[in-house]
């Protein structure tokens, strides 16, 4: 039972190793390791645990081989015992032959004695010899019966041993088949472990590539964020500029509307003057404007309305100064120098009226140019502003181009963000695949540990069975020894000292097993046929 105790110690010693190599980790352990370095460390640790479990399996397989060797040794031992039993059976056969030879010798002795006693007239010695021979014959028959019974017991024990050997061989063959199956399962497990290692290596390489891609995407993301911040700042500044420009444009539009109103008012006045001039020309009156004015002046009280007339004439001159071929600076200088002479102003008005009549024909063709030239000097700034406003669409186009470029940059940024999201999704998918592979590794490790535990249990059962068989054999041997000793005692108590040579001699194998019985038998003297002849001769002489 020492082996069972040893196995119990080994099983207790393996419990902390099983606790240490228990690969019961979930996907939560991996999800907690968001850092790629921590994930790689956990993967390496699990791979080392798997290698240690494989080494443990190899050690258990070595122990299984040792158990097989021990089983073979036991088989050889039992085979030797069977050979010894067969040798004992052969010894029994030899003993039977020896008994037959003894019977033949006894017959010869009896014949010799009968021939020797034929010369003697005394019948008493013959009767004694016959009695002695009958007693010896009875003892010999009793010994033969005991020997036959012992041989029958031996044959029964041999049959039981053969049946036990057959059962043992069948169980050993079943165990060998189970070990072969488990060895094939172990090979499959090793192949799976090898493939899983290759998959783990490829997945680690893919993970490193994905980490590099993620780092590059993070850098691109930071750069795009910086560019987006700068673009937002630029857009905000452009929006402020556009607001200011819209306000300026509104102001310019208001000024243009005011200038248009003034130009329309002047155009209406000019049309009125043209109508008056055309009416005067159509009336055919050759009386000039100067004569009409003179007549009107004569008729009016010149002394009273002189200042008012001069004012009206000045206003008419101011209105007619923007007419072509008449520079406003010269007209104003002449008016300022000759304010006192009303006739000069009237002549000036006449010249202007003639010019208006000459320009009336070309006025319809060049109406737009006349209108532009008729605008006062104070409206030239407004015209410049309108030209600037006309130049604004070009600026707006350039700004629109810039906005389009910004939109393209935004599209590129969105594409980069989409690529980043896709890469993150792929990374998550790869992590899920890693978790699945690790779960498969866990299941394989659990299966391997279960197979190892089954092997241990089978080896323990085999050891216990062998110990039980050894105990049973020892018990049978003890019972056999006790029965043999009892039979010997009975035979010694019933037999005489003279026929002790008919007892069964011990074989060499039985001498090793039964030292006490052999020593007692060795102390007793053996009676051979020569001793019997000497004894008979002594009896005759007596």
| pLDDT score at 125 | 61
Q: Under 8 Å CB-to-CB from 308, ≥6 apart: which residues?
A: none
| pLDDT score at 129 | 66
Higher pLDDT, 199 or 385: 199
Higher pLDDT, 202 or 500: 202
Contact 231, 409 (CB under 8 A): yes
Domain boundaries, the chain: 2-104+123-202+442-541, 257-398
Q: How confident is the model at residue 80 (pLDDT cuts 50, 70, 90)?
A: confident
- Nearest CA to 168 among 524, 470, 527, 402? 470
Contact 473, 80 (CB under 8 A): no
| pLDDT tens string 426-480 | 778 877 877 887 788 788 878 878 878 888 888 788 888 878 888 888 888 888 8
Q: Round to whole Å and give the CA distance between 144 and 142.
A: 5
- Nearest CA to 335 among 357, 319, 356? 319
Q: What radius of gyration, in Å, describes the C-alpha atoms of the chain?
A: 72
Give the DSSP letter of residue 378: G
374 pLDDT exceeds 60? no
Average pLDDT for 72-79: 77
Q: Round to whole Å and give the CA distance between 539 and 542.
A: 5
Least confident of 64-78, 174-188, 271-285: 271-285
| pLDDT tens string 381-397 | 655 666 665 566 566 66
**Secondary structure of the chain: what % helix, strand, coil (to 5)?**
90, 0, 10
Q: Under 8 Å CB-to-CB from 106, ≥6 apart: which residues?
A: 133, 136, 137, 140
Four-point Cα dihedral 198, 202, 204, 210, nearest 10: -170
Please count the other Cβ atoms lying within 10 Å of the Cβ belonging to residue 60: 19
Structure-token pair, residue 424 = 């993150």
Q: How close are the terminal C-alpha atoms of the chain, in Å?
A: 67
| pLDDT score at 328 | 41
Q: Round to whole Å and give the CA distance between 487 and 520.
A: 14
Q: Round to whole Å and give the CA distance between 510 and 84.
A: 9
Contact 64, 459 (CB under 8 A): yes
Half-sphere exposure of 110 (CA within 13 A, CB side): 16
- The DSSP line for 277-307 is HHHHHHTT----HHHHHHHHHHHS-HHHHHH
Q: What burial class does residue 452 get, using C-beta atoms within 10 Å of its C-beta: 0-12 exposed, 13-18 middle, 19+ buried?
A: buried
| pLDDT score at 526 | 43
Higher pLDDT, 180 or 352: 180
| pLDDT tens string 151-189 | 788 778 777 877 887 887 888 788 778 778 877 777 777
Coil, strand or helix: which one is 524? coil
Give the DSSP letter of residue 339: S
Structure-token pair, residue 430 = 């790869």
Q: How confident is the model at residue 512 (pLDDT cuts 50, 70, 90)?
A: very low
Structure-token pair, residue 24 = 């019961």
Q: Round to whole Å and give the CA distance between 482 and 173.
A: 35
Structure-token pair, residue 250 = 């509104």
Q: Round to whole Å and give the CA distance between 419 and 334.
A: 82
Average pLDDT for 15-39: 48
Structure-token pair, residue 238 = 């452009």
Structure-token pair, residue 58 = 């190899």
Q: Which long-range contacts (CB under 8 A, 24 or more apart) does 75-83 make?
A: 75/168, 75/169, 75/172, 78/161, 78/165, 78/168, 81/161, 82/158, 82/161, 82/162, 82/165
The pLDDT > 90 percentage for the chain reads 0
Contact 53, 448 (CB under 8 A): yes
| pLDDT score at 123 | 57
- The DSSP line for 475-522 is HHHHHHHHHHHHHHHHHHHHS-STTGGGSPPPPHHHHHH-HHHHHHHH
- The DSSP line for 97-160 is HHHHHHHHHHHHHHHHHHHHHTS---SHHHHHHHHHHHHHHHHHHHHHHHHHHHHHHHHHHHHH
């Amino acid at each position: 039972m020492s082996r069972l105790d040893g196995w119990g110690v080994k099983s207790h010693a393996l419990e902390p190793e099983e606790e240490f190599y228990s690969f019961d980790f979930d996907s939560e352990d991996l999800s907690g390791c968001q850092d790629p370095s921590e994930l790689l460390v956990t993967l390496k640790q699990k791979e080392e645990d798997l290698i240690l479990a494989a080494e443990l399996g190899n050690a258990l397989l070595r122990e299984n081989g040792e158990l097989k060797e021990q089983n073979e040794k036991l088989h050889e031992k039992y085979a030797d015992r069977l050979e010894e039993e067969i040798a004992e059976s052969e010894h029994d056969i030899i003993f039977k032959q020896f008994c037959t030879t003894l019977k033949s010798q006894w017959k010869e002795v009896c014949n010799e004695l009968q021939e020797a006693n034929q010369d003697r007239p005394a019948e008493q010695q013959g009767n004694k010899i016959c009695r002695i021979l009958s007693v010896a014959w009875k003892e010999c028959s009793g010994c033969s019966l005991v020997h036959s019974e012992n041989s029958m017991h031996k044959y029964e024990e041999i049959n039981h041993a053969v049946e036990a050997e057959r059962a043992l061989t069948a169980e050993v063959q079943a165990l060998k088949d189970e070990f072969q199956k488990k060895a094939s399962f172990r090979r499959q497990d090793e192949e799976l472990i090898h493939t899983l290692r290759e998959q783990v290596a490829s997945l680690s390489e893919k993970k490193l590539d994905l980490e590099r891609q993620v780092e590059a995407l993070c850098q691109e993301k930071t750069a795009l964020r910086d560019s987006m911040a700068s673009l937002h700042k630029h857009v905000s500044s452009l929006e402020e500029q556009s607001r200011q420009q819209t306000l300026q444009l509104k102001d310019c539009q208001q000024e243009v509307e005011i200038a248009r109103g003034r130009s329309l008012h002047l155009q209406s006045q000019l049309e009125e003057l043209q109508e008056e001039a055309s009416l005067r020309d159509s009336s055919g009156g050759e009386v000039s404007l100067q004569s009409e004015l003179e007549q009107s002046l004569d008729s009016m009280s010149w002394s009273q309305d002189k200042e008012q007339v001069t004012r009206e004439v000045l206003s008419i001159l101011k209105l007619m100064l923007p007419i072509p071929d008449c520079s406003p600076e010269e007209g104003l200088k002449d008016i300022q120098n000759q304010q006192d002479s009303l006739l000069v102003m009237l002549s000036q008005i006449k010249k202007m009226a003639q010019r208006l009549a000459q320009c009336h024909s070309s006025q319809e063709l060049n109406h737009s140019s006349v209108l532009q030239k008729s605008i006062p000097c104070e409206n030239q700034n407004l015209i410049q502003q309108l030209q600037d406003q006309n130049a604004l669409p070009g600026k707006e186009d350039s700004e629109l181009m810039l906005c389009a470029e910004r939109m393209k940059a935004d599209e590129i940024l969105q594409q980069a963000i989409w690529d980043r999201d896709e890469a993150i999704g792929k990374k998550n998918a790869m992590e899920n695949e890693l978790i699945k592979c690790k779960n498969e590794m866990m299941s394989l490790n659990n299966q391997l540990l279960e197979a190892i535990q089954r092997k241990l249990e089978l080896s323990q059962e085999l050891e216990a069975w062998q110990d039980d068989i050894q105990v049973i054999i020892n018990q049978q041997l003890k019972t056999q020894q006790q029965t043999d000793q009892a039979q010997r005692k009975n035979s010694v108590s019933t037999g005489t000292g003279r026929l002790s040579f008919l007892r069964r001699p011990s074989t060499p194998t039985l001498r090793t097993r039964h030292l006490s019985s052999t020593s007692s038998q060795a102390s007793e003297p053996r009676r051979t046929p020569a001793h019997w002849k000497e004894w008979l001769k002594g009896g005759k002489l007596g």
